Chains A and B, each alone.
Chain A
Amino acid sequence: MNSPDTAVNTIGLLPDAAIAKFLTRGMQTGQESPPLVALRKAAVQPEPAEARWNVEPVRELLDEAMNRFTGRPSRADAWLAPRLHATLRMTRTEAADSRRWNFLAMITAPDYVVWRHKGGEIVPAARFSGPHYTQAFSRLWWAAELFRDGYDYRPAEFACGFQDVLNTTMRLDVIDHRPTAHTILRLLEELRNANTPDLGVRVNALSSAVNAAGSTLLYDVFAPDEAPDHDAVQDWVDESASMPPVPWDRLPEAPDDGKVSERAISALLPLFTQLLEEAPLRKRGKHSSTDEEE
């Protein structure tokens, strides 16, 4: 058994089944505090104990986010995503463990989940425990992971400035091909710089067009992705033992595992531009203006 102190200070693993049992409507509305004792008992501690599983740096970051973005919580995403990613240093294997995200949402920071996602009456349960693109914290970590360019978090920060990228683009399997993801962002940046109206609608149109065309076009042929340097990721994770807290006013550094080739992006860019031009723009339906919109 761990001493109570370690248990309180460590980000543990909370099984999905515990969410079904303990997530109440009261918690989803933010009017009830979670049953911490019972939840802690249901959680297991990560083995071995490592500095990167400390609750404190994450909690501090979330407090700062709530402080900085008072009254405009969705703006916090772009600030928080890279910083959360650089604080919770882990491999994709570890990040795919939903229990870790459950723990953060139910025990470490249920107040953050409510603050960020309570648009209407209640916070959807999937924000506490859900798929990687929906859960309050995993969506940010994965956005940073999927949109960073090697050590450079700037594209990830940019991507998280658009709720439609988080809600739509991030769901698509095509963006697991890094040049595809970065070309979408590049095009989005061009549109924003040209002050194009209805950016959200365009992001959605572009994403689904790229996704649909991906079933008949092999983007790898245009834009081969060089395999990232996996040792760099491991080194970056290992460094967490002695890392200082992430900076608040400049971006931290992501693992230096290799940038996406510029040639690959320029090869895809004309193709995606054409796809966007041909894509039908769908007017935003009522259902998409949920708690995500400001």
Chain B
Amino acid sequence: MKAAFPYPTLFGDVSFEVTAVTVDGSPLPYTHVSKAEQTVALHQTGRDKWDVAVLHIRAALPEQELADGPWTDAVCLAVLTEKATNARTSGRLTRVQDGSWQGRIELVRNNHLNRASLSLTVAATLDNLPGRVIGTAERDWFVDLKVTTPVRQREIEIVEIDFREGDLEWLRPFKEAPWIVETTGEIPTVYLNTSAVEGLVEVLHGKGGSAEEKLLREMTSSQIAQDAWTAMFHTAISDLDLDEDGTPQMPGGWREPVLQMMLPDVLPGRQLTDALFDINERRTKGFGWSELQTSVQYAAGRRSQMTKKLAVATRSVNSVARGGSQ
């Protein structure tokens, strides 16, 4: 969402990228930094202990506009934050010869938990007031401490465990369920029960196999996905913070992308903030809550690609029944 500023701001694009990362002095392999995904994956297999990562940043500002505009003393600042640990570190970029802005920022392991956001802000003096924000990069980078592959959209965590006799005591009561979805934590987790349906986990793991096996795998995974999306949606809207005039705030962490993806299907044609307000009204006041369930189910089905998978599955069943090859 773009805020409206009561003073002139930059019209041109502000963009930045992480050009290199070192972890305790040694360079992070190139494959851990993705410019397309704008994500850095800090976790390296076999290297659990480290203290400080240094991110090298290069930004591109609309130089001509900056030079011609009413602003002076431009400052370009990278800010690294993580809500879970209330961490905030900043680093100033300086203008170098080729016209870009460069700088570095430190990420201290002990101050972070899962995933930090890296943003870039341009401020300048305007009408004698220093520090006016005149531009920000459109999209933050993510710096993920838990993954080895730099992808933006974090996958749901999947834990395979024996509900009946495994280490997690709280799963015992669910021992007959093939899976359950847990969304209270930092990362939504699907617990797959290794003891409820014999062979199911193996089928889910398999890659090839018979048409029936593929069918079972597809259907099960989309059913799990459906459950996960539904649970995530309900959790994401369940405890919205309100600002002073009672407007619900977009939650942080995984909840934000879930709502951004699902709200347009749950309440089509609404602005995100309006949809959020409406949902919160319905949930807290009760009216229209049950009507909403249909569209939540619809939205979750879309995310889990239920229709597509069902269509493919039905076709393959028909072709097996006709005795044809696939």
Contacts and interface: CB of A to CB of B under 8 A. Distances in A.
Interface of A: 15-18, 20-21, 38, 41-42, 44, 91-93, 95-98, 132, 142, 145-146, 171, 173, 176-177, 208, 215-222, 224-225, 227, 230, 233-234, 282
Contacts of A96: 84-85, 113
B103 to A, nearest CB: 13
B89 interface: yes
B75 A218 contact: yes
Interface in B83-109: 83-90, 92, 106, 108-109
Chain A interface SS verdict (over half): helix
B169 A41 contact: yes
Interface residues of B, number: 43
B131 A93 contact: no
Contact of B131 (A146, A215, A217): A217
Given A15-B170, A220-B77, A173 B83 contact: yes
A149 to B, nearest CB: 16
B244 A92 contact: no
A188 B23 CA distance: 41
B75 A221 contact: yes
Interface of B: 3, 5-7, 51-52, 75, 77, 79, 81, 83-90, 92, 106, 108-113, 121, 123, 129-133, 167-170, 173, 182, 184-185, 241, 244
A112 B159 CA distance: 35
A97 B114 CA distance: 11
B170 A217 contact: no
A221 B169 contact: no
B211 to A, nearest CB: 38
Contacts, number: 100
A92 B81 CA distance: 13
Which 10 pairs from chain A and chain B are nearest by CB? Answer: A221-B131, A16-B184, A176-B88, A91-B110, A218-B123, A92-B85, A41-B169, A96-B84, A96-B113, A42-B169
Contact of B111 (A16, A92, A173): A92
A95 B90 contact: no
B97 to A, nearest CB: 24
Contact of B244 (A38, A230, A282): A282
B86 A176 contact: yes
Nearest to B123: A218
A256 B189 CA distance: 38
Contacts of B51: 230
A216 B133 contact: yes
Given A41-B169, A227-B89, A282-B244, A221 B5 contact: no
A173 B184 contact: no
B84 A18 contact: no
A208 B244 CA distance: 9
B84 A216 contact: no
B52 A215 contact: no
Contacts of B113: 92-93, 96-97
Contacts of A145: 86
A233 B52 CA distance: 14
A94 B131 CA distance: 34
Contacts of A18: 170
Nearest to A234: B110
A13 to B, nearest CB: 12
